[in-house]
Structure 1
Amino acid sequence: MLSDKLEIKYEIRIVKDGKYGNENPKIIGGWDGMIGEILRKEVDMAIAPLTVTVERETVVDFSKPFLSFDIKPSIKNVAKEAGAIFSFLDPLSTEV
């Protein structure tokens, strides 16, 4: 319904080589997987449980998860990072 209202055409598909994306100098653009498809402009975006690494972050932009909770193995660690519980509010301005 959203694509009809906004008059947007899209296609959802699985990455061609089935990989998430690693540096690969043998491939055009130097990356395989989803990251490579983005860099070669074969796709506009990738949606996946993709680990943000320093290498990937230097070549593509990642969105911040809108909601994530880290489950810590002990109460002691949770108490130290009590502010992390509200990390889902980070994308919002202080006025909101």
Structure 2
Amino acid sequence: MSENRKVKSPLLTGRTLFAGILLMLVLLAEVFFDTWCAVQCRRTGYEIVKAGRQQEELIETRRKLQIELVHLKSPQVLGTRARTELGMITPKPEQIVRVP
């Protein structure tokens, strides 16, 4: 009767154990990769928000500088600066030479 008995193979053979460990390593690598992708996506989102804020600040700075440039080019400011900083005066009528 011993010949009719079937020999049960162990459930965890070397090949099955290797396949199971390999599968677990692949799944673990996939989880790490997915986590890394999510972190990079979040980081990129933060960088986009930061760049948007910098852009708004630069636009505001440009607007202020344009206003300041218009102010500095105004005749009143130019005249005041010419008199105070450069010591210029308005010429008298006899000092004006007309070129034909």
Same-fold status (TM-score > 0.5):
no
Query: Taking structure 1 as the reference length, what is the TM-score of the superposition?
Result: 0.16
Query: Taking structure 2 as the reference length, what is the TM-score of the superposition?
Result: 0.15
Instruction: Please identify the structure whose Cα radius of gyration is greater.
Output: 2
More helix by share: 2
